[in-house]
Structure 1
Amino acid sequence: MNRHIKAFVRLIKVEDQIGNAIAFFTGYIFAGGFSIYESLLPAFASTCFSLMAANALNQCTDADTDAINKPDRPIPSGMISLREGYSIVAMLYAITLALGALVSMEFFALISIAVFLGIAYSIRPFRFKDRFIISNLSIAIGYGAVNFLLGWNTVMPLSAAPLHVLLFLTAFDFFANISKDYRDMEGDRIYGARTMPIVLGRSRAIVVQFSALYITFMMPVLFYTLAYVNTSFVFVSVIGMLLVMQAHKDLLEDRDVGCYKKMMLLYIAVRLMIIASILF
């Protein structure tokens, strides 16, 4: 029993729920959700279960690759079987949709998109994960735009969503999530995944990724110039640039894990700074 609990926790990657929760509440608070609405609990729970299911499914379909890149994960290490993993995925997705239906039809449609992206990312014939650019774009839409919109839609209709914030979050997440691919290059090359570091080569991918990130973090300044945001939002550029420079340095010095950790920190920091721009 204890073994299965540990395997479940590692399969769903509980640590990812920190960023997931902050992304959801960024949209919720940006929409004016300073009160606790009746729909908040099922909406937030549905969002969490969706990510849990996507993480578990990804580990099920990547069991062979993980045996090379991450052999300590639950399935390649033998903590649970592949069949048990898929059973967990089915249960989590069923809960996701059931909870989403309790919120509203618009929210249910949105969480269904999140479910589709989670499945299409890992399952053939879609298998977005192995497709050049589409892999990073699907993550950016799922974690950047959709998570924000799930929080937003708990309070406000999708038609009123701030397009400039969605553009910034999607652009940032698109280029930031490339960082996860550098440490997986050995297994990805063997199994034919067409990630940016594989297709462009490590050095060129780093140049493309970080050039784009530096440009992306100029967007808040542009939004301020166009009077879309207040002065506090400009701090997203300042803090973002500093962390991007540190992550860039890590990759140039072959500290792939360090770069990835800084990008995860930046993912959280960006959302917190957006929330702060609303509060102050």
Structure 2
Amino acid sequence: MIHFLNLIRWKNLLIIALTQYLIKYALLLPFRESHGVFITLSDFNFFLLVLATLCIAAGGYVINDIHDIETDKINKPNQLIINKHITDKTATTLFMVLNIVGVGIGFYLANGIGKSGFFAIFFIASALLYIYSTSLKQIAVVGNVVVSIVVALSIILVGIFELVPAMNANNKTVQTTFINIIKDYAVFAFMINLVREMVKDIEDIDGDHNAGIQTLPVLLGRARANKIVFILSLVPIFSVTYYVITYLFKQQLVVGYFLILVIAPLIYVSIKLFNAETKAHYKHISLILKIVMLTGMLSLLLYNFILK
């Protein structure tokens, strides 16, 4: 059971589920009466939305591991799961089941809210993760961007399903305001994930090189790739700082939260990147970025102070 959970990256799935639940129950529901926010999904249907998202994400992790067997023998020999604890055939079947369930639930939900076209989001996300694992990850930066888009999509999905169907002429301004807040979080997730994916590419340069995968570090070398990722790591620092100064500056508690738990760790990441050399360095940086992703999403709990 533990090998199955590790294969689908259960910790990452928990962060996705937590983020989606925070958006609904910390950002949207508390402001139904005070701000006139209209939401669409019942508690059960929202659970199905989260489940569909997790199934497609889990399927993406499985297919990625199936196609990473050779590189993982070099990059993560102690963490190998496919053909060591779970057979290739079982993993492929699991990938197919997860995607059928995820896309199927998406089809049911889209039709249930009278927006059948929304079903395409689940299908596109599933297809992108498959294409990424089979071909796009071999193209420098493109694969990193695609994965980061899918991560951002898992966040904006809540706004699409909860707010868009309930939008009308009377509440358009309020609905749009909250969609924009969700969009800002999706952009944040995209930026952090993109930096993290590129850090992981530097960490995995040896296995990727042997497998002929043309990642940025393989093409340019570790030192040059490191400089590019360092410059890229400055973007979320300036973006979050600008956001805090522009929208949150009057809320001291909120400013303190972002400074200590989001901006400071991002500055730490940039400093560490500037001097990073070993695989252990990049592994540490990747972990800090995952924590920043979590603390960034937990800031959704502060909107009771921001929008009071």
Q: TM-score range by the shorter chain?
A: 0.7 to 0.9
State the 1:176 CA deviation. 2.9
Structure number with bigger Rg: 2
1:185-226: CA deviations, max 9, x gaps? 101011122222222322222222232222322223433555
**Structure 1 residue aligned with 2:113:** none
Q: Is the 8 A contact 2:233 2:270 kept in 1?
A: no
Q: 1:70 aligns with which of 73, 76, 83?
A: 76
Q: 2:7 aligns with which of 2, 11, 17?
A: 11
5+ residue gaps, structure 2: 31-38, 111-115, 168-175
**Structure 2 residue aligned with 1:114:** 125
Task: Name the stretch that deviates more: 252-261 or 45-54.
Answer: 252-261
**Structure 2 residue aligned with 1:32:** 28
Give distance in 1, aligned partners of 2:27 and 2:164.
Answer: 9
Give distance in 1, aligned partners of 2:98 and 2:230.
Answer: 35
Give distance in 1, aligned partners of 2:58 and 2:209.
Answer: 27
Matching of residue 236 in structure 1 with residue 258 in structure 2:
yes
State the 1:261 CA deviation. 1.0
Matching of residue 84 in structure 1 with residue 84 in structure 2:
no
Could you state the TM-score of these two structures normalised by the residue count of structure 2? Answer: 0.77
Give distance in 1, aligned partners of 2:117 and 2:248.
Answer: 26
Bigger proportion of residues as helix: 2
Q: What residue identity is the alignment partner of 1:278?
A: Y
State the 1:31 CA deviation. 5.8
**Identical residues among aligned pairs (%):** 18
Give distance in 2, aligned partners of 1:53 and 1:176.
Answer: 20
Give distance in 2, aligned partners of 1:42 and 1:238.
Answer: 35
Q: Is the 8 A contact 2:208 2:214 kept in 1?
A: yes
Give distance in 2, aligned partners of 1:245 and 1:222.
Answer: 14
Q: Is the 8 A contact 1:182 1:197 kept in 2?
A: yes
Q: How does 1:211-250 map to 2 (within 5 A)?
A: 211-224=231-244, 227=247, 231=251, 232=254, 235-236=257-258, 239-250=261-272
Q: What residue identity is the alignment partner of 1:142?
A: V
Task: Name the stretch that deviates more: 107-116 or 150-159.
Answer: 150-159
Q: Is the 8 A contact 1:176 1:213 kept in 2?
A: no
Give distance in 2, aligned partners of 1:268 and 1:227.
Answer: 21
Give distance in 1, aligned partners of 2:46 and 2:245.
Answer: 34
State the 1:136 CA deviation. 1.1
Q: What residue identity is the alignment partner of 1:271?
A: M
State the 1:148 CA deviation. 0.6
Matching of residue 263 in structure 1 with residue 289 in structure 2:
yes
Compared CA separation, residues 110 and 15, structure 1 to 2 (3 A): same
Compared CA separation, residues 164 and 149, structure 1 to 2 (3 A): closer
